[in-house]
Structure 1
Amino acid sequence: MQQLELDDLRGIFGFGVAGNFAGHLEQAGEAGDFASVQAPSDEAPKGIFPWYVPGHDSFLGTFPLAFDVAAKPREPDPVNLQIEPEVGLLCGIAYAGDGSVAALQPQAIAAFDDCSVRRPGAPKISHKKNWGADSKGVAPLAFEVTDLSPDGPTKDFRLASFLRRGNVTRGYGTDSPLPGYSYYGQQLLDWLVDRLNHQKGAEDTPLEDVGALLRAAGNPERALVGIGATRYEPFGARTYLMGRDEAVVVVYDSTHHRPNQVAGMIADRREEELEAASVLRRMVYDLRDD
């Protein structure tokens, strides 16, 4: 396992993938936002979006990552905030001579929470993603991974998430195999490179020119990519976060831990005893209480 340090992540470029797990956008009420976006197939992701651009003079320039807390924003009213359980892919970025992206090189994966505010009518996805410090969460321990092949080292890895409210812990997102992503492995990496080089923003879509933002950040050497959120359990689909909730996201090796074992240990507050797992646990605090 690799220990991550927040100070080391301040120079990374942060972006995410929309629609990389069948059914998530529909559950999140966001499928209609992509009506005018043309994808290669119904199963393909819809596009990429920025959530952190180091040095940028907009809200995207605020460092949003935290290991243990989640800020519930003041606006809109009501604030419908949801966990977005994802795999966070830490990767190196190789550039071509003309400054375009040549390749993404996997380095590690970690549990990641692409926590989102449901803002109907928001002009861009990024407006739902970074509202300041502690918007996003990443686990402090990551698996060192250089091969994302569906039949490679992560073929038995799974992603699960839970909400702990008071003394009750319930499943929030469906416990899902990592190769269950619509795009995974080299297919995902090649698609990400293509999108960084060719995706352009348009007024009638929620997407932006993420490659231009990457260049504006000075072509950083590394990126942290949220590769997509899983479907929700019925409880997760209808339950928004409140102050003092605990959001738990875990990426684990199912050859070491069975799904029911993981759920049981998290219900018993013993997630730190999971040996083959990257665990993110965040306590929610409400900015309106400041």
Structure 2
Amino acid sequence: MILEDLKDYLGFAVAGNFANHLGEAGEADEFSVIKTEEKNAPKGIFPFYIKDYESFLGTYPICDDTILTHGKEDQNLQIEAEVALICDFIYENEKVVDIIPKYFSAFNDCSIRVNDGKKLSTKKNWGTKTKGISQELIQINSFDEKDSILNKFHIASFIKRDGIVYDYGTISAVKSYSYFFNQLKTWMIDKFNTQEDCGPLEELKPFLKNANKAKGMLIAAGATAYTEFGKHNYLKKGDEIFVYVYNAHIHSFQDIMNDMSGVDLYLGQCSKLHQIVE
């Protein structure tokens, strides 16, 4: 699969799937109106790309090497380091009946943080090259928690600014998502069919009207919490963004640091995203 293929995928993301992220992102108040069945459940799903949609959501925002600010540096742009799930899905009788995760990748669900009281989706796509995905896709052997290779993977993110590397998001095991594996899959199927317009979230059914024309879904599973640096430092032109989703049973944190420093080493079980802010 190449990046161009994703233009025919529906782009959605999960909100509030890591402890503390919404509070650190300044979005906890907006989401206070959303009630969940379980305390640690994600808050909902939002769209960030719907091909041919008549609003900003119809703009393809994904790139593997650049984040364009489009003049919005003063709106507090932040990295959101996540796992992207590249999925097939089955849509019948105007309902999502199954989601089949096939590959995963490092993803940057880059976001505007200025609180304008609008829907969450309006902060997620402000033009071309405003999202990031690694072209290093890793095949999912199973999405069952007991057997999945994803149990071994961690998410890490960094900014290199003026030659200095800073931790941006807290290093987090993929399995430490509030919901993941089959629990997340079952929850997402339900949300696609039942989520109503409430607070910062939108009803999802209108975004699925042409779902049978899509090749699949790209689903960002949720952003990690921030380091102290990440909480207080927004993106500037010239920043280098790094997001790694790596097998922590094979690659060490030092391997990741060495890679950012330009050491020539082979990260055989790693999906790496490297973008420049322009």
Q: Is TM more than 0.5 here?
A: yes
Kept in 2, the 8 Å contact 1:175–1:259? The answer is: no
Whether 1:118 and 2:113 are equivalent positions in the alignment is yes
Looking at structure 2, the residues matched to 270 and 206 of structure 1 have their Cα atoms a distance apart, in angstroms, of 43
In 1, distance between residues paired with 2:265 and 2:132?
17
Distance in 2 separating the partners of 1:179 and 1:129 = 25
Runs (5+) with no aligned partner, structure 2: none
Q: CA RMSD in A?
A: 1.5
Secondary structure of residue in 1 paired with 2:128: coil
Q: Give the residue type in structure 1 aligned to 2:197.
A: G
**Structure 2 counterpart of 1:168, from 164, 183, 208:** 164
TM alignment of 1:223-234, pairs within 5 A: 223-234=217-228
Distance 2:94 2:136 in 1: 32
Q: Which residue of structure 1 aligns with residue 45 of structure 2? A: 48
Does the 8 A contact of 1:59 with 1:132 survive in 2? Answer: yes
Structure 1 stretches of at least 4 aligned residues deviating more than 4 Å after TM superposition: 216-219
Structure 2 residue 272 is the aligned partner of structure 1 residue 279: yes
Q: Is the 8 A contact 2:13 2:48 kept in 1?
A: yes
1:28-63: CA deviations, max 9, x gaps? Answer: 111111111011122100000000000101100000
- The 8 Å contact of residues 152 and 247 in structure 2, kept in 1 or not, is answered as yes
**Is it true that 1:109 corresponds to 2:104 in the alignment?**
yes
3-state SS in 2 of match to 1:155: helix
TM-score (norm 2): 0.95
* 1:183-222 equivalence runs, <5 A: 183-202=179-198, 205-216=199-210, 218=212, 220-222=214-216
Contact 1:94 1:221 in 2 (8 A): no
Number of equivalenced pairs? 277
Q: Deviation per CA, 1:203-226: give whole Å up to 9, x if none.
A: xx0001123202245552300001
1:84 to partner: Cα distance: 0.2
Deviations 1:182-204 (A, max 9, x none): 000000011111000000113xx
Within the alignment, does 1:32 sit opposite 2:23 as a pair? no
Partner of 2:2: 5
- Deviation at 1:270? 4.0
In the alignment, is the contact (CA less than 8 A) between 1:122 and 1:128 conserved in 2?
no
Q: Tell me, which stretches of 5 or more residues in structure 1 are unaligned? A: 286-290
Residue of structure 2 in register with 1:138 after alignment: 133
Q: Is the 8 A contact 1:18 1:45 kept in 2?
A: yes
Asked if 1:158 is matched to 2:154, the reply is: yes
- Displacement after TM superposition at 1:13 (Å): 0.1
Change (3 A) 1:210 1:198: same
Query: What's the TM-score once normalised by structure 1's chain length?
Result: 0.92
CA distance in 2 between counterparts of 1:20 and 1:281 reads: 24
Q: What is the percent sequence identity of the aligned residues?
A: 37
CA pair 232-56 structure 1, distance change in 2 beyond 3 A:
same
CA deviations over 1:4-39 (Å, ceiling 9, x no partner): 412111110000000000011111111111111011
2:229 pairs with 1:235: yes
Aligned partner of 2:22: which letter?
L
Partners of 2:162 and 2:89 lie apart in 1 by 42
2:87 matched to which residue of 1?
Answer: 91
Aligned residue number for residue 64 of structure 2: 67
- The answer to whether residue 123 in structure 2 is matched with residue 128 in structure 1 is yes
Secondary structure of the residue that 1:130 maps to in structure 2? coil
Residue 39 of structure 1 aligns to a residue whose secondary structure is coil
Partner of 2:18: 21
Match of 1:251 among 232, 245, 249: 245
